Amino acid sequence: MYINGTWTAATADASFDVFNPADGSVIGQVYDGGQQSARAAIDAAAAAFRTWSKITAYERSAILYRAYQLMIERKEDLAQTMTMEQGKPLRAARMEVQYGADFLLWFAEEAKRVYGETIPSARADQRFIVAHQPIGVVAAITPWNYPVSMITRKVGPALAAGCTVVLKPAEATPLCAIKVFECLIDAGVPEGVINLVTGQNPAPIGEEFVNNPKVRKLTFTGSTAVGKMLAGQAAGNMKRVSCELGGHAPFLVFEDADPVHAAKGAQLIKFLNTGQACISPNRMFVHISIADQFIDVLQQRVSKLRAGSGLEDGVAIGPLVNEAAVNKVAAQVDDAIARGATLHSGGKRLIEGGLDKGFFYAPTVLSGITEDMLIYREETFGPVAAVMTFDDDAKALEMANDTTYGLAAYVYTRDIGRAMRMFEGLDFGIIGINDINPTSAAAPFGGMKDSGLGREGAREGIMEYLETKMGGFSI
């Protein structure tokens, strides 16, 4: 833990183990903090806010820029830690460190662009001036699937805005959080400005975050169930809230699209991080005229994906996060098959060659998905491509929108009119048009409906950490 500028190491009576999900081995021990630790961290952040919020944006920017440089210098070490702790292949881990660092660079720049405005008044003797000020102490809760970038996406804009932060990372990935903090601390973030509370049991820490009056903002990334609960409690105390929650992305391939190109894109985005991404496609709607070709190419590519430890060369499929995740994926696949889906590849837990020590599920392709199947509604968060066909654009759009989630959607078409109709008609916050990577520190990330509140990254990202203050001056 890191509170008020001091590291606290794991002790015999307060610690928990961190595991490698590829083989179940223990790779570290961290301090097991709780409500008391959270309170101490909030006190430190509240005290530090007085000075951090008053130094110039240029000074904050310079520190964030140094943190960005340090993260790039330490990319390999961070990536290795991530692969061991979270499981994704090393190449993907390096890309995530880069993506994570990008937020520090972006918000180092945005720190200097917190503009206000003047508004004309109907009264000749009156002037309106609008300014933005940092909101105060920010409590942040982050998930395990992107254990570096989900931290910088919150801490970057919070620090840029002049806020101070208490972070609780996911209990599965505290080691990545520690390494991110080391970059920030070595870059010169003063004591008390960032605080890290690790803990095995998130509930008491979360309780302190939503109830402590010194916390002015809660930012959460994780499951919709926990997000709704915390947002509700925080709202009861009038705290500002942003939430990035679950997703159920539709992936639409129209008759004019190239089925080979679309299938390649589908494979790349679906199996990224073993499907453990909130923007992962959950249902693939493919026009009936090209569905066979799409499934063939997808199946061929998927059958070549090698599962194993992300530290080994050539591994594309890392482990799932834990046993419960494997069971959830297996339940969805079994349910789909029992209800008539066709299995093209995968469909089972992987245990050969030592994989039984980890949480591996075979990359899977299913077709013939119908509305009564669990996979049609539930977020999968695993390596399963679920394909269904359509022959009518309007019906496809209706089915794509038939979900309580609204984070990401993907469209493959070469018809500009169709692309625009889908862009406008899909009820999702992020739409990839012939593009499987519609994410960047420069682009607003976030969802509609049950996928959350607010946006991260981009110009919008820093506004989440700012209050608006209006001055009416009589002259």
Q: What residues are annotated to the active site?
A: 244, 278
For the stretch 5-27, what's the b/e string if a residue is b when 16 or more beta carbons lie within 10 angstroms of its beta carbon?
A: eeebebeeebbbebbbbbbeeee
Half-sphere exposure of 105 (CA within 13 A, CB side): 14
Q: Rounded distance, CA 240 to CA 333, Å?
A: 39
In the complex, the smallest distance separating the C-beta of residue 155 from ligand ADP, rounded to whole angstroms, is 14
Counting contacts by CB under 6 A, is residue 141 touching ligand ADP?
Answer: yes
Tell me how far apart the terminal alpha carbons of the chain are, to the nearest angstrom.
52
Counting contacts by CB under 6 A, is residue 15 touching ligand ADP?
Answer: no
Site residues (CB under 6 A) for ligand ADP, limited to 193-252: 202-203, 206, 222-223, 226, 230
Site residues (CB under 6 A) for ligand ADP, limited to 16-45: none
Q: Rounded distance, CA 159 to CA 165, Å?
A: 8
Q: Rounded distance, CA 15 to CA 29, Å?
A: 6
Instruction: For ligand ADP, give the closer residue by CB, 40 or 230.
Output: 230
Instruction: For ligand ADP, give the closer residue by CB, 100 or 202.
Output: 202
Counting contacts by CB under 6 A, is residue 378 touching ligand ADP?
Answer: no
In the complex, the smallest distance separating the C-beta of residue 258 from ligand ADP, rounded to whole angstroms, is 34
Q: Number of residues in contact with ligand ADP, rule: CB under 6 A?
A: 13
What mask, x for binding ligand ADP by CB under 6 A, covers residues 106 to 125? Answer: --------------------
Query: Are the C-beta atoms of residues 35 and 204 closer than 8 Å to each other?
Result: yes
Counting contacts by CB under 6 A, is residue 180 touching ligand ADP?
Answer: no
Instruction: For ligand ADP, give the closer residue by CB, 70 or 175.
Output: 175
Which pair of tokens denotes residue 279? Answer: 């923007």
In the complex, the smallest distance separating the C-beta of residue 406 from ligand ADP, rounded to whole angstroms, is 18
In the complex, the smallest distance separating the C-beta of residue 399 from ligand ADP, rounded to whole angstroms, is 26
Counting contacts by CB under 6 A, is residue 80 touching ligand ADP?
Answer: no
Query: Are the C-beta atoms of residues 43 and 214 closer than 8 Å to each other?
Result: yes
What mask, x for binding ligand ADP by CB under 6 A, covers residues 340 to 359? Answer: --------------------
List CB contacts of 74: < 8 A, sequence separation 6 or more. Answer: 179, 183
List CB contacts of 420: < 8 A, sequence separation 6 or more. Answer: none
Counting contacts by CB under 6 A, is residue 171 touching ligand ADP?
Answer: yes
In the complex, the smallest distance separating the C-beta of residue 179 from ligand ADP, rounded to whole angstroms, is 17
In the complex, the smallest distance separating the C-beta of residue 209 from ligand ADP, rounded to whole angstroms, is 7
Question: Which span sits near ligand ADP by CB under 6 A: 33-41, 44-52, 168-176, 250-258?
Answer: 168-176
Indicate if the alpha-carbon torsion angle 206, 210, 215, 216 is positive or negative: positive
Indicate if the alpha-carbon torsion angle 202, 207, 210, 212 is positive or negative: negative
Counting contacts by CB under 6 A, is residue 170 touching ligand ADP?
Answer: yes
Residue type, 289: S
Q: Rounded distance, CA 174 to CA 211, Å?
A: 24
Instruction: For ligand ADP, give the closer residue by CB, 114 or 150.
Output: 150
Per CB under 6 A, residues contacting ligand ADP are 141-143, 168, 170-171, 202-203, 206, 222-223, 226, 230
